[in-house]
Amino acid sequence: MSAITKIDLWQVLDSRGMPTVSARVSIGEKSANAIAPSGASTGAHEALFLRDNKASYNGNSVIETIALFTKEVLPHLIGIDGNDFAELDKNLRNYDSSRTFSKFGGHIPVAITIAAWLATAKESNVEPFTVIADHLGSTPTLPLPMVNIFSGGAHAGGAIDLQDILAVPIGATSIEEAMEWVWKVRESTKSLLSKSGHDQSLVADEGGVTARLQSDEQALEFVSDGIIKAGLSGKVAIALDVAATQSFHGDHYQIHEDGNLKKLSSEQFVSRWSKWLDIYPIISVEDGAAEDDTDGWKQQQENCDRIQIVGDDRYATQNDRLLNGIATKEANTILIKPNQAGTLHSALTALTTAKKDKWGTVVSARSGDTEESWLVDLAVGSNAGQIKVGSTHRSERSAKWNRLLELSHFATAPYIGKAALSHVKNLNF
């Protein structure tokens, strides 16, 4: 038994400079830290990130939340087996049984459960991904990367409506080749933007390039041309994070086009990006309709045989919401964000459910992320198949890509590559 002997919590800053919580879990003589990430475009159904709303950090501090949790919950976690993810989850929910952790927030439980996993790995003297693989009975694989090239939406001050345009190196045969290819695409796209008069001295929250353009289509043209300029046409595809919830206003969508604000129905909104599938090498669309726009999600079904239809805000890494999506066949892939679920066990439950029903799984970072790299071990150990952590720039992003490259060098796990998309019958590429 890997009994937890001590837990420490304190306030730190994430990659956007916002306060968050760091947890240190001790098991015997070993200990490990984990920092809770946070999102810029958060969904209504994910675990809450509770802030103090006091003067400290203009109301963004988490010190009071940490103090309350430390007093009411922390003592009851000592002695629990840190390697028993389900038991730790159960005990945490004894003190906050709401699905979204409305009393203490999900940021504290996710930091504690991740740190417990990492401490267990240290105590057992194994790599963290091995612990995950043992829990799930899975065979570790190096995932196919989805890498941010152009940022918009909440990640770049609304430069365009699309939140992210990403490169997917589906023709690469190794993670080393995959990372070089997406690096070339980013540099080529940056060069094209610069030559067109768009300043490229700054980067977005997740390290992507950005510019204030007239339309989403213009950004897609730049990235498509960047792939061609890099000499990777037919080898690198495009993925979109539409983040449609950010554009939804009650009963309609609002988008910017040629300097004007346009209102679209659910059908018009989904049809708009569906047309792009015949123009650009798009193989994946995330949150192509708002989180509660059931009509929009139904309309996306016709594209499930051609591309990945990915649910992020729609499912919020919540198993019950995922089961509904599986039943309605409105999508074929789920984004896995541990902090949306609130605990490691809950995130793994959703991932396992998706894989059991032959859905794709994409392990994902947040826009407010950290210098830690455990997300890579989660993707590798669970055989998730795909990973999305941002661009090649910004140290909190490169830390994760570098961990993936490290595992490629030292571990025996094979690179999954294009096989990660085998759940899409007639891939649009």
Q: What is the pLDDT of residues 137-170, one digit of tens each?
A: 999 999 999 999 999 876 555 578 999 999 999 9
Beta-sheet pairing, 360-364 with 237-241? unpaired
CA distances from 100 to 35, 67, 185, 290 (A): 19, 20, 38, 19
Give the per-residue pLDDT at 1.
Answer: 74
Active site residues per annotation: 206, 337
- CATH annotation of 144-421: 3.20.20.120
CB neighbours of 11 closer than 8 A, spacing ≥ 6? 19, 20, 21, 22, 61, 62, 63, 66
Give the per-residue pLDDT at 363.
Answer: 99
Average pLDDT for runs of 10 along the chain of length 429: 94 96 97 92 87 91 96 97 97 93 94 98 98 98 98 70 96 98 98 94 87 93 98 98 94 89 96 97 98 96 96 97 98 97 98 98 95 98 98 96 98 96 91
- The β-bridge partners of 254 are 263
Beta-sheet pairing, 19-27 with 30-35? antiparallel
CA distances from 180 to 37, 176, 184 (A): 27, 6, 6
Give the per-residue pLDDT at 154.
Answer: 63
- The β-bridge partners of 253 are 248, 264
Name the residue among 236, 76, 97 with its Cα closest to residue 165.
236
Give the per-residue pLDDT at 370.
Answer: 95
Architecture per CATH, domain 4-125, reads as 2-Layer Sandwich (3.30)
Domain residue limits, the chain: 4-125, 144-421
Which residues of 213-346 form beta strands (DSSP E)? 237-241, 253-257, 260-264, 282-286, 308-311, 333-336
Tens of pLDDT along 222-249? 999 999 999 999 999 999 999 999 999 9
How would DSSP label each residue in 140-183? P-BPEEEEEEEE-GGGTTTSSSSSEEEEE-TT-SSHHHHHHHHH
Give the per-residue pLDDT at 156.
Answer: 55
pTM: 0.96
Give the per-residue pLDDT at 303.
Answer: 95
Give the per-residue pLDDT at 155.
Answer: 52
Taking the C-alpha atoms of residue 387 and residue 384, their distance in angstroms, rounded to an integer, is 8
